[in-house]
């Protein structure tokens, strides 16, 4: 690897680590405990015997560990959290249960049913701290009685492949389960303080893990519209249940006006926006001007890449009125990759590596006075299929690509970005990071 490639690789991975570190729960939870949770406990549960802790998501275990460290022996903590396999950490009093993600499995189903029952049995004089993060939608999915669990699994697979944005996928999930869309708050008699790590654009609590303790303003009609809009093939049991809901034969999810949310308080611990702010500060210290495109970007990965490539091309060429190099273009949010049945069977990669492959493709013929390098990765350390967090694009890759006789457009069309970047030795392998605030995309134009 050349010296300039080493420079960009080291800086890009360093900056990604800064973004992930900003999403770790320890410091934010410590501040929340002393400034908000302790006064809240004194006010709403002064006669408590214990504080119950329940949660779900990719960051649930690390949140539980951080909570134990902050609370110490000042409270009696009891409960458990459900996290994705490989995202567990060692805790003292709060049990950690592992299950499959993004398609729920039998272990997750047992854990979700156990959590549903346990929350309903918490005495009203005690208090609940809910630890909720991205990934909780599938880890907490208990289907309504009319829907078999295998049909819920099939629905999850279909939603993941259809290309719908996460908030629309969650609208459907809320209306076919007993646990999402505020329904855990509805069955809990005790006051609830929910701590959130957001993986959704805009940080809407009702979308984070499908909002198990948050009011849901969507309806059965909205859920059916999502199914139709994205041509999702759903099992008959799900279609029948949604139709029953539209007709008013079954109750909808609890809305903002429901009295059950008077006892629920919500606090955002970490988010994509906070990570982008940390990345911005770090890059500015390194000597870059930063163009922050925000944390709400959505759309097909290759379409989002085309827009980023257009900006990067103009900036590198000194055109379009963009700030001059050295410039960093950063963005967050969550792209999608739409797959048909054939593509779903052969796909290897993820939305971040597909974005980066498309970016490299759209910049393939650029001749500029400055180099362009980039990274795109998921802050949870897992980008789709392949065990990678994402990938890197370095200035020398065009020559490496030609030498390896790689065809970027073919890999794009086949959705095999993992194979492409593996051949180039550009995969980013971090392992689970124990947090999850969505994606980080960073494009560097020139050196300081």
Domain limit, last residue, from 204, 237, 270: 270
Distance of CA 43 to the CA centre of its chain: 33
Based on the fold, state whether residues 319 and 210 are members of the same structural domain: no
Distances (CA, A) of 441 to 290, 334, 382, 422: 12, 10, 14, 19
CATH number of the domain encompassing residue 332: 3.40.1480.10
C-alpha 399/C-alpha 409 separation (Å) is 16
**pLDDT of amino acid 14:** 98
Residue 171 lies in a domain: no
**pLDDT of amino acid 120:** 98
Residue 437 lies in a domain: yes
Based on the fold, state whether residues 8 and 68 are members of the same structural domain: no
**How much is the CA Rg of the chain, to the nearest whole Å?**
22
Residue 331 lies in a domain: yes
**Does 338 have pLDDT greater than 80?**
yes
Structural domains counted in the chain: 2
- pLDDT by residue (tens digit) across 302-325? 999 999 999 999 999 999 999 999
**pLDDT of amino acid 38:** 98
Strands (E), 7-149: 51-56, 77-84, 94-99, 127-133
Phi, psi angle pair for 177, to nearest 5°: -125, 165
Based on the fold, state whether residues 316 and 378 are members of the same structural domain: yes
**pLDDT of amino acid 68:** 98
- CA-based diameter of the chain, in Å? 71
**pLDDT of amino acid 3:** 82
Paired residues of 427 in beta bridges: 391
Crossing angle of helices 149-162 and 166-174, in 10° steps, is 160
Question: Residue 2: which pLDDT band, with cuts at 50, 70 and 90?
Answer: confident
Question: Residue 345: which pLDDT band, with cuts at 50, 70 and 90?
Answer: confident
Based on the fold, state whether residues 331 and 182 are members of the same structural domain: no
Q: What is the DSSP string of 188-215?
A: --S-EEEEEE--STT--TTTGGG-TTS-
Residue 423 lies in a domain: yes
Residue 169 lies in a domain: no
C-alpha 100/C-alpha 95 separation (Å) is 17
**Does 105 have pLDDT greater than 90?**
yes
Residue 100 lies in a domain: yes
**Does 99 have pLDDT greater than 90?**
yes
- pLDDT by residue (tens digit) across 256-304? 999 999 999 999 999 999 999 999 999 999 999 999 999 999 999 999 9
Based on the fold, state whether residues 306 and 401 are members of the same structural domain: yes
Structure-block tokens of residue 103: 């398609």
Based on the fold, state whether residues 302 and 386 are members of the same structural domain: yes
Report CA torsion sign: 190, 191, 193, 194. positive
Based on the fold, state whether residues 341 and 400 are members of the same structural domain: yes
Based on the fold, state whether residues 261 and 330 are members of the same structural domain: no
**pLDDT of amino acid 344:** 80
Structure-block tokens of residue 84: 């994705």
Full domain range(s) for residue 201: 24-142+177-218+253-270
- pLDDT by residue (tens digit) across 399-431? 999 999 999 999 999 999 999 999 999 999 999
Based on the fold, state whether residues 352 and 441 are members of the same structural domain: yes
What is the pairing mode between strands 289-292 and 427-428?
unpaired
Based on the fold, state whether residues 189 and 42 are members of the same structural domain: yes
Residue 260 lies in a domain: yes
What does the mean pLDDT of the chain come to? 96
Among residues 363, 415, 418, the alpha carbon closest in space to that of 394 is found at 363
Question: Residue 201: which pLDDT band, with cuts at 50, 70 and 90?
Answer: confident
C-alpha 422/C-alpha 412 separation (Å) is 14
Based on the fold, state whether residues 16 and 52 are members of the same structural domain: no
**Does 1 have pLDDT greater than 80?**
no
Mean pLDDT to the nearest integer, 390-396: 97
Mean pLDDT to the nearest integer, 63-85: 97
Residue 140 burial (CB count, 10 A): 30
DSSP 143: B
**Does 436 have pLDDT greater than 80?**
yes
**pLDDT of amino acid 346:** 85
CATH number of the domain encompassing residue 66: 3.40.50.10180
Do 99 and 85 form a contact (C-beta atoms < 8 A)? yes
Domain limit, last residue, from 270, 305, 339: 270
- pLDDT by residue (tens digit) across 156-199? 999 999 999 989 999 999 999 999 999 999 999 999 999 999 99
Based on the fold, state whether residues 57 and 193 are members of the same structural domain: yes
Residue 63 lies in a domain: yes
Neighbour-count burial of 447, counting CB atoms closer than 10 A to its CB (0-12 exposed, 13-18 middle, 19+ buried): middle
**pLDDT of amino acid 37:** 98
Helix (H) or strand (E) holding 120: helix 106-120
């Amino acid at each position: 690897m050349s010296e300039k490639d080493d420079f960009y690789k080291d800086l890009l991975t360093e900056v990604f680590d800064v973004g992930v570190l900003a999403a770790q729960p320890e410091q934010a939870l410590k501040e929340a405990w002393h400034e908000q949770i302790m006064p809240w406990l004194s006010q709403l549960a002064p006669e408590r015997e214990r504080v119950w802790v329940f949660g779900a998501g990719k960051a649930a275990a690390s949140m539980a560990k951080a909570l134990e460290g902050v609370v110490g022996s000042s409270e009696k903590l009891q409960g458990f959290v459900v996290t994705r396999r490989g995202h567990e950490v060692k805790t003292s009093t709060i049990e950690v249960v592992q299950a499959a993600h993004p398609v729920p499995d039998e272990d997750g189903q047992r854990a979700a049913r156990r959590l549903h029952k346990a929350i309903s049995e918490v005495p009203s004089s005690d208090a609940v701290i809910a630890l909720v993060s991205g990934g909780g939608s599938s880890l907490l999915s208990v289907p309504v009685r009319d829907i078999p669990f295998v049909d819920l699994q099939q629905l999850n697979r279909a939603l993941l492949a259809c290309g719908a944005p996460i908030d629309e996928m969650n609208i459907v999930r809320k209306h076919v389960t007993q646990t999402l869309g505020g329904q855990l708050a509805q069955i809990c008699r005790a006051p609830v303080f929910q701590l959130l790590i957001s993986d959704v654009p805009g940080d809407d609590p009702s979308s984070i893990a499908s909002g198990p303790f948050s009011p849901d303003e969507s309806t059965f009609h909205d859920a059916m519209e999502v199914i139709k809009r994205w041509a999702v093939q759903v099992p008959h049991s799900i279609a029948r249940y949604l139709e029953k809901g539209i007709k008013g034969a079954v109750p909808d999810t609890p809305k903002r006006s429901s009295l059950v949310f008077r006892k629920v308080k919500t606090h955002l611990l970490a988010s994509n926006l906070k990570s982008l702010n940390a990345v911005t500060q770090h890059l500015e210290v390194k000597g870059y001007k930063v163009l922050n495109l925000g944390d709400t970007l959505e759309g097909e990965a290759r379409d989002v890449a085309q827009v980023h490539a257009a900006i990067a091309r103009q900036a590198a060429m000194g055109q379009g009125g963009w700030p001059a190099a050295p410039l960093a273009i950063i963005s967050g949010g969550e792209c999608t990759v739409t797959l048909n049945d054939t593509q779903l069977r052969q796909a290897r990669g993820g939305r971040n590596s597909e974005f980066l492959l498309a970016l490299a493709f759209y910049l393939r013929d650029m001749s500029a006075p400055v180099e362009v390098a980039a990274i795109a990765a998921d802050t949870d350390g897992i980008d789709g299929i392949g065990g990678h967090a994402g990938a890197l694009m370095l200035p020398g890759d065009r020559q490496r690509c030609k030498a390896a006789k790689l065809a970027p457009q073919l890999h794009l069309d086949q959705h095999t970005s993992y194979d492409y970047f593996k051949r180039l030795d550009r995969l980013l392998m971090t392992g689970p990071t124990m947090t999850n605030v969505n994606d980080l995309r960073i494009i560097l134009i020139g050196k300081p």
